[in-house]
Amino acid sequence: KQEVTQIPAALSVPEGENLVLNCSFTDSAIYNLQWFRQDPGKGLTSLLLIQSSQREQTSGRLNASLDKSSGRSTLYIAASQPGDSATYLCAASGAGSYQLTFGKGTKLSVIP
Amino acid sequence: DAEITQSPRHKITETGRQVTLACHQTWNHNNMFWYRQDLGHGLRLIHYSYGVQDTNKGEVSDGYSVSRSNTEDLPLTLESAASSQTSVYFCASSVSTGELFFGEGSRLTVL
Structure confidence by residue, pLDDT tens digits, A30-59: 889 999 999 998 999 999 999 989 999 999
- Note the pLDDT of residue A94: 80
* Number of neighbours of residue A109 by Cβ within 10 angstroms: 13
Chain B neighbors of A102, CB-CB under 8 A = 35, 42-44
- Note the pLDDT of residue A31: 86
Chain B neighbors of A36, CB-CB under 8 A = 102
pLDDT < 70: residue spans in chain B:
1-2
Measured CA to CA, the distance from residue A48 to residue A66 in angstroms comes to: 11
- Note the pLDDT of residue B1: 60
- Note the pLDDT of residue B37: 97
pLDDT tens figures, A66-108: 999 999 999 999 999 999 999 999 999 887 777 899 999 999 9
- Note the pLDDT of residue A58: 97
- Please choose, from the candidates A24, A18, A19, A21, the residue with its C-alpha nearest in 3D space to the C-alpha of residue A4: A24
- B100 and A99 within 8 Å at the Cβ level: the answer is no
Selected residue of B60, B95, B100, B104 to mutate for chain A interface (largest A Cβ count, 10 A): B100
Q: How far is B85 from chain A (nearest CA, A)?
A: 18
- Quick check: A103 contacting B, CB < 8 Å? yes
- Note the pLDDT of residue B2: 59
